[in-house]
Amino acid sequence: MSLAVGDNAPDFTLKDQFGAPITLSGVLTGKAALVVFYPFAFSGICTGELCGVRDDLARYQNDAVDFLAISCDPMPALKAWGEQEGYDFSLLSDFWPHGQVARDYGVFHEEAGFAVRGSFLIDQSGVVRWSVVNGPGEARDFSEAADAIAAL
């Protein structure tokens, strides 16, 4: 069961594509956070979704909100993918312990070993204000996230 609106978001620390640790509670000291889980770097739907964010980044990462994309891919794969696609946002590795943060958020697909497409808008107090979970093979509509950010 994934986190619901009104739930407290579990804190986490994960390394980004450059090896820098990113802690959710640290991000929330200055902004809200849009935390987005996705299955795999270099896959078609995931690349399409995050390229859409990249191309309209100001809607998802600005003075009010930070965009954090999380997968179970290892850090070197995320770095290569981020450089290839020109991503100017954090790609966080939930590689080890494998999928632990995805499990904490209720979006880890145990049988397949990856995170499904969970999206969570977390306010500065650490409370989930909007969420949606899409299953494997189901692309998400990021305009819903932009609307939720605008409503904060």
Separation between Cα atoms, residue 44 and residue 134, nearest integer Å: 15
Residue 8: how many CA atoms within 13 Å on its side-chain side? 5
Question: Is 72 among the residues known to form the active site?
Answer: no
Question: Which one of 22, 46, 92, 145 is the catalytic residue?
Answer: 46
Q: Which of 148, 142, 68, 50 is nearest to 105 (CA)?
A: 68
Catalytic residues: 46
